[in-house]
Amino acid sequence: MPTNQAVSLKNLLAKDEQFLASALYRVFHIVADRGEGSYLYTTDGQKYLDLTCGIGVTQLGHCHPEVVKAAQEQLAKLMHVSCVTHHTENIKLAEKLAGILPGDINNTFFCNSGAEAVDGSIKLSRYVNPGRPNIVAFRGSFHGRTLGATALSSSKSLHRKHYDPLLAGINFVDFPNCWQCPVFKDPNNCGLECLDLLTRMFKLNLPPESISAIIIEPMVGEGGYVPAPPHNQNPRFNYLKELRKICDEYNILLVCDEVQSGIGRTGKWFATEYYDVVPDVITMAKGIASGLPMGAFASKKKFMSLMPPGAHGSTFGGNLVSCAAALKTLEVIEKENILDYVSKTGTELIKHLESALKQKAKIRGLGFMLGIELASKELADKVVEECFKEKMLILTAGAEQKVIRFIPPLNIEKTLLFNVVDKIISFINKA
């Protein structure tokens, strides 16, 4: 006899199929009910260790009490005014962000998601560089699902199927992936020849003076968790610095999409800090408000001021409750010294994984944004399945879905973290 809980799970999934759009892919066919810290509890009474963080969002675990309290207090006080009036919460948050964003990036537009942030950055680039219709994006990257962000994305062709014509003027160049070098060089002995792919494009078909922006994820996320060099595989070259020089030479806006890598995920507020580079624009979303919807793009005041009032807008962007949650999220990350914990522990994790998995996997990443590339999708699926049996939720990434994607909460307890990693190592070794 099936239990009541099993029957109700079956019913819920049947209703989900009947009433919810099929376009939204779901990884695990369980129904979440509540969350606490690193754990997710389902309607059928199961407890899962959530190593997905709702795709890199719940940086402080589920329902961090201080964030919940801040959001609840704001909820009871004032939920929404849109742009009808000014309000304290987005002013406080924008000021806070100006303090943690790199270099002279000090002015922010708030929206509701990562894709919206990316779209906004395209609009900004058109204001800064009017009359320049082209944009350069990187093959393998993902920037979101709006039509603008879809046009910039190339991590899976399904994301673009049937949607042409998309935004015109997008030109793709290969990402500097040292684990699968686009110009077939040995990363230990190369001259950053992958950069020539871009400069050659300038010579052959894309005059640099026609480009308004170059957009890059400092660490490719959905496309397979691949950081741009320098990193453990190629410590000699700084790709982002070279890109910065090119952008300066031709007055092209350098946009770093930090929707996934930002807000402490890599052990710094923003991954670009590892590259000692200040981009012109940073996009952010995901972890900023611990799970309440929020996105943002930020740049220096000089550029942002070129967009006059009304040039861009959003009914819900910078919502008071999301802002209150974001302010508290940033405060807790600072107060609990989480960036330091994540950067140090991330380095230890990489070393541990490398020594345990030597020939079986390619290990890469920064902080708690780690990729474990396996030989095949079948192997990665097997590991995800074994984790699921052990009540651990974990995702994969990459066009071939063979990268195990390790994005635990930033405040996960260290002993638990290493226990989990050891389990994953044993699943990989057995698979």
Ligand X SMILES: Cc1ncc(COP(=O)(O)O)c(C=O)c1O
User: Which residue lies nearer to ligand X by CB, 149 or 195?
Assistant: 149
**3 state SS of 47:** strand
Smallest distance from ligand X to CB 139, Å: 14
Smallest distance from ligand X to CB 255, Å: 11
Smallest distance from ligand X to CB 115, Å: 3
Are 109 and 296 spatial neighbours (Cβ–Cβ below 8 Å)? yes
Smallest distance from ligand X to CB 416, Å: 25
User: Which residue lies nearer to ligand X by CB, 152 or 420?
Assistant: 152
**3 state SS of 221:** coil
Amino acid at 401: Q
Question: In angstroms, what is the C-alpha Rg of the chain?
Answer: 22
User: Which residue lies nearer to ligand X by CB, 102 or 120?
Assistant: 120
Closest chain position to ligand X (CB): 114
Binding site for ligand X (CB under 6 A): 113-115, 118, 142-144, 217, 221-222, 257, 259-260, 285
Both tokens of 343, joined, read: 């950067």
Strands 226-227 and 219-220: antiparallel
Smallest distance from ligand X to CB 259, Å: 3
User: Which residue lies nearer to ligand X by CB, 217 or 386?
Assistant: 217
Smallest distance from ligand X to CB 226, Å: 12
Among 37, 50, 57, CA closest to 284: 57
User: Which residue lies nearer to ligand X by CB, 9 or 226?
Assistant: 226
Among 57, 19, 51, CA closest to 38: 51
Q: Which residues pair with 214 in a beta bridge?
A: 136, 254
Both tokens of 311, joined, read: 């040039």
Are 147 and 329 spatial neighbours (Cβ–Cβ below 8 Å)? no
User: Which residue lies nearer to ligand X by CB, 259 or 320?
Assistant: 259
User: Which residue lies nearer to ligand X by CB, 114 or 365?
Assistant: 114
Q: Which residues pair with 295 in a beta bridge?
A: 111
**3 state SS of 81:** coil
Contacts of 245 (CB under 8 A, 6+ apart): none
d(CA 213, CA 198): 13
Smallest distance from ligand X to CB 98, Å: 22
